[in-house]
Amino acid sequence: MSTYLEIPVFDSDLLYRSFPDNGMGIVYPHWHKEIEIIYSIVGSVNIGVGEDIIQVNQGEIYFFSSGEPHYFLASPDSERYVFQFDLKMFDEPTLRVKEKSLVSLFETSERHSRNWPKNTEEKVRKILLNLYRYNEESMDGKNYLLLAELYHLIGVFYQELPETSQENSLSIRRSTIHYKETLERLNKVFDYVEEHFLEPITLEEIAHFVGFSPYYFTRFFKTNTGKTFMGFLNEYRITQAKFILANEKIPMVEVAEKSGFTSVKTFHHVFKESVGLAPLQYQKQLNETL
């Protein structure tokens, strides 16, 4: 079975999200650049990491480093909170003095809270519950509170997490090295799209930017993301459009322009095909729920 890149969709420019999962479904092998933390709040969660199946019992925490492949087995009668965040949201060049890099922190630290000091596990539990609660509420200063807890979490990890065993560390690095090389290439694509989505982007242009032929780039992107580049580009633009529709009252032609579509007709077609509603219907539905 292929291991695909997952591209989390964040609700705002703050590159963080949290959500519950009831454990009933199977989550197939995947990986992503974001850090992911699992907090089992009811029952036991069964996680696949490399060749191992790890049971995360109620009250325990487990995390994945950037680019680390993993999957979830169905875990009936369980519930977990899932936290994902991008390390680039932290001002590492300014804040880091002599510490190891954030990437190294997550790569070399013990992942399972069962092997942490008990007071550390309790401390992290409280931070995660605050993160989840703040993310669920609509209030002034919400993003500041989320950032404060995320920085608190990083500080605790630097100070208190034990290092994983050398054997485990080597195993993790071997399993992620391919994904890290792929991630570096894909990140170039994602950064380019982020900077240029308002401009026309051709397959030939992005392939040349990454250093591949259009044919090889097409195969590379599809193999690692499960979607075509143009499909990904349209999804990115639709995400921008959703944010604009939720926050601005402007003509649809302007929404199309500000989300990178060359014509309002194309925008309407792609949006409806992706979302199942026309842009104006989507905006009305949002307003009715507020």
Mean pLDDT of 63-85: 90
Asked if residue 83 and residue 204 are part of one domain, the reply reads no
Asked if residue 246 and residue 223 are part of one domain, the reply reads no
> pLDDT grade, residue 40 (50/70/90)?
very high
Residue 33 has pLDDT above 70, yes or no: yes
Asked if residue 69 and residue 126 are part of one domain, the reply reads yes
Of 195, 212, 227, which marks where a domain is finished?
227
Note down the domain range covering 260.
231-289
Asked if residue 71 and residue 28 are part of one domain, the reply reads yes
Alpha helix segments (H runs only) across 99-212: 102-108, 118-136, 142-160, 166-196, 203-210
Asked if residue 238 and residue 222 are part of one domain, the reply reads no
Asked if residue 144 and residue 40 are part of one domain, the reply reads yes
Asked if residue 73 and residue 14 are part of one domain, the reply reads yes
For the whole model, what pTM was predicted?
A: 0.68
Cα 58 vs. chain centroid, distance in angstroms? 24
Of 141, 164, 187, which marks where a domain is finished?
164
Asked if residue 134 and residue 18 are part of one domain, the reply reads yes
| CATH number of 97's domain | 2.60.120.280
Place of tokens 């890290």: 180
pLDDT tens sequence across 86-123: 998 998 989 998 999 998 999 899 999 999 999 999 99
Asked if residue 246 and residue 208 are part of one domain, the reply reads no
Task: List 83's β-bridge partners, or say none.
Answer: 18, 37
Number of domains, the chain: 3
pLDDT tens sequence across 196-234: 999 999 999 999 999 999 999 999 888 877 789 999 899
Asked if residue 183 and residue 92 are part of one domain, the reply reads no
| CATH number of 256's domain | 1.10.10.60
Place of tokens 């007709």: 265
Asked if residue 252 and residue 196 are part of one domain, the reply reads no
Alpha helix segments (H runs only) across the chain: 92-95, 102-108, 118-136, 142-160, 166-196, 203-210, 214-225, 229-247, 252-258, 264-275, 279-289
Of 227, 247, 267, which marks where a domain is finished?
227
Helix axes 264-275, 279-289, angle to 10 degrees: 60
Asked if residue 153 and residue 31 are part of one domain, the reply reads yes
